[in-house]
Chain A
Amino acid sequence: MTHTLQPNDFVLEVSDAAWAELGRPGAQWAGAQRVAIAAAARAASPRPLWDRAPDLAELSREHSGGELSPFVAALVERVAVEPSSLTRDHVHAITDEIGDAAYAELASIVTQVVSIDHHAAALGNELRPLPAAEAGAPHRRRPEGLADVGGHIEMTEVIEGPNVRRSLSLAGADHERWMMLVFAMYSGSQFGEMVWTDRALTRPQVELLAARTSALNECFY
């Protein structure tokens, strides 16, 4: 007989903080749009082989009553479940239309929702209700210190640590909140230490889980 598994207190605290911000205006998207992106990310799941995702180029850019155009809704799905198919050319075609900062913020919302939702699901717990949208316009500020470092989009030029730390840094505060989730759920301050002695799992056990998940996602990085 199993019982309910309680999340780590720090993970819960960081998740609460990220979730609360999802409904507030961001840098490029309004609160209602951000909640719609979160809802689309939550609804996205891998399609069976016979059900191909629609070609983004063929989807309408016009809103038809919802907060997101069919194009943006499909983009959220693509980022959430098939990011490995996004080439530099794909991303540049997308950012030519919606802007690189809007793309980064969209992807950063997806990373937050996916990590929080999958954590709850993996523990067998209910998913959180989506936050209410707050009124207000996006602030449109762009982070400083960005450069083309060879990725699909601009990112922080100078960093300490692995490149994934700067991946969606163009998304500013959303990326920082996701990095706090990474800190809380993964390595804490011990990324550079190969032996962890104060945890329930050893470092090799954690890295086996990480590597297996990355292999399932066919993530080369």
Chain B
Amino acid sequence: MLLGLSSNAVDVEADLAAVTGNVVTGNVVTSDVVTSDVDAGVPHADLLSAFAEAAWRRDESLAPARAALQAVVGDAAVVEAAQTVAIFRSLNIAADSSGIPLDESWRGLAAEFVSDLGLDQFPTSANTPGY
């Protein structure tokens, strides 16, 4: 949702589907770097998404994904990317282990894209009061 709102704020139309189905089903391998076949309407979305996936897996794909991102966006951006993927992994744990309700201010907005993106297929949709 914040991807959509922040993209709108800079007059970019983000493809929200890029964060779910397209990335899962559309990975392509170029040399030794796994990149995601995704154009989310965000600069370097493919490299950022590949880095997020590799950092999530923490396997041999991480070093080449990080190097590919670093070569394009620079050190400071990679450091911010690493912070983001790391803290969101823990944010997901806090949300799911505590079962926090969906924020009231997000309920109307969420209803607009939850089924379109298949988010209602996530098991935690049943554990999220307010949805």
Check B115 for interface membership: any CB of A closer than 8 A.
no
Q: Mark B33-47, 1 if CB is under 8 A from A, else 0.
A: 000000011111100
Nearest neighbor of A75 in chain B, beta-carbon distance: B97
Bound form: Cα–Cα A111–B88 in Å: 10
CB–CB A115/B87 < 8 A: yes
Bound form: Cα–Cα A38–B127 in Å: 26
Q: Interface of chain B, helix or strand or loop or mixed?
A: helix
CB–CB A210/B62 < 8 A: no
Interface size for chain B: under 10, 10 to 19, 20 to 34, or 35 or more residues?
35 or more
CB–CB A208/B89 < 8 A: no
Check B31 for interface membership: any CB of A closer than 8 A.
no
Q: Mark A96-140, 1 if CB is under 8 A from B, else 0.
A: 000000001001101110111111011110000000000000000
Checking B3, B19, B49, B97 against A107 with a beta-carbon cut-off of 8 angstroms, the contacting residue is B97
Known A-B contacts A2-B70, A112-B90; the reply to A218 vs B123 at CB < 8 A is yes
CB–CB A204/B10 < 8 A: yes
Bound form: Cα–Cα A34–B63 in Å: 31
In the assembled complex, how far is the CB of residue A86 from the closest CB belonging to chain B, in whole angstroms?
Answer: 6
Q: Mark B73-104, 1 if CB is under 8 A from A, else 0.
A: 11111111111111111111111111111110
Known A-B contacts A210-B2, A220-B119; the reply to A151 vs B101 at CB < 8 A is yes
CB–CB A186/B83 < 8 A: yes
Residues in A whose Cβ lies below 8 Å from that of B92: 83-84, 213-214, 217, 219, 221
CB–CB A88/B127 < 8 A: yes
CB–CB A118/B6 < 8 A: no
Residues in A whose Cβ lies below 8 Å from that of B94: 107-108, 111, 164, 167-168, 178
CB–CB B82/A123 < 8 A: yes
Known A-B contacts A200-B80, A212-B19; the reply to A221 vs B52 at CB < 8 A is no
CB–CB B40/A208 < 8 A: yes
CB–CB A87/B48 < 8 A: no
In the assembled complex, how far is the CB of residue B91 from the closest CB belonging to chain A, in whole angstroms?
Answer: 6
Q: Mark B1-25, 1 if CB is under 8 A from A, else 0.
A: 0110111111010101011100110
Known A-B contacts A164-B91, A208-B48, A212-B52; the reply to A87 vs B126 at CB < 8 A is yes
Residues in B whose Cβ lies below 8 Å from that of A53: none
CB–CB B10/A186 < 8 A: no
Bound form: Cα–Cα A220–B127 in Å: 9
Bound form: Cα–Cα A186–B88 in Å: 8
B-facing residues in A169-207 (Cβ within 8 Å): 178, 181-182, 184-186, 194-195, 199-207
Checking A121, A164, A178, A184 against B95 with a beta-carbon cut-off of 8 angstroms, the contacting residue is A164
Q: Mark B107-131, 1 if CB is under 8 A from A, else 0.
A: 0000000000001101111111111
CB–CB A195/B9 < 8 A: yes
Residues in A whose Cβ lies below 8 Å from that of B20: 215
Residues in A whose Cβ lies below 8 Å from that of B89: 114-115, 118, 213, 217
Check A7 for interface membership: any CB of B closer than 8 A.
yes
Interface pairs A-B: 5 shortest CB-CB: A152-B99, A122-B82, A83-B96, A194-B9, A119-B86
- Can you list 7 A-B pairs, Cβ within 8 angstroms, ordered by A? A167-B95, A194-B9, A208-B19, A212-B23, A214-B88, A219-B124, A220-B128
